[in-house]
Amino acid sequence: MFCRFTGLTEKDKEKGRGDPDDPRVRLKRDCVGIMAAFRLKNASQNLIIIANTHIYWDPEWVDVKLAQAKYLLSRLEQFKTLVSEKFECMPSVIVTGDFNSTPGDQVYNYIISGSSSSEAGAECSEELPIPLCSVYAYTRGEPAFTNCTPGFTGTLDYVFFSPSGCIQPVSFLELPEEDSTSVSGGLPNYRHPSDHLPIGAEFQVHA
């Protein structure tokens, strides 16, 4: 399944984004989400849904990011129901991607708790379509950063999973420290071809 938040590109035409009060303009972005179900080759024939997304970038438009996160999880819930009914199972879910959102902000809080509050904002809670937990937060705490540029260093990328008895994270990809020479001066560089560091996790699947 593929879902797309259609709209403007090229940093929204260098921020000439049209009328920001018009929701037809504001919510249409060139961001994407994709999801697929995989059957594992084991005795229990487990099914796992894996989704990936790239949420809108602009820190000034938090409401757009939040709307995209809600839409992604709602479509993921629909897909999970479809898979469950077709294969008579309860698939586990893993969601990864560049969420362009830092730990504790509205998008992050919504994904892990259903609360769209931030440290400085009013709280608004709702029932999550699919409860999710961050692998790094679950195992040792979110990394200090996954994105490192001269103008910004922080965590924007995550591996989320549905906490259940079927899958359990057992290891994760270590990231360099902020004082590491491999990230000195910002990214990309000859060691890291992107301004985002790769993240990853290994899961144990239980029957």
Distance CA 73, CA 166 (A): 20
Distance CA 7, CA 25 (A): 8
Give 26-48 pLDDT, tens digit per residue.
888 888 899 999 998 775 678 99
Confidence of residue 121 (pLDDT cuts 50, 70, 90): low
Report whether 35 contacts 76 (CB < 8 A): yes
Range 30-64 burial, b when 16+ CB lie within 10 A, else e: ebbbebebeeeeeeeebbbbbbebbbbeeeebbeb
Q: Tell me the residue type at 109.
A: N
Where along the chain do its domains lie?
A: 2-205
Q: Which residues lie closer than 8 Å to 26 by C-beta, 6 or more apart?
A: 17, 20, 61, 63, 64
Query: Rounded to two decimals, what is the model's pTM?
Result: 0.87
SS3 147: strand
What topology does CATH give the domain 2-205?
Deoxyribonuclease I; Chain A (3.60.10)
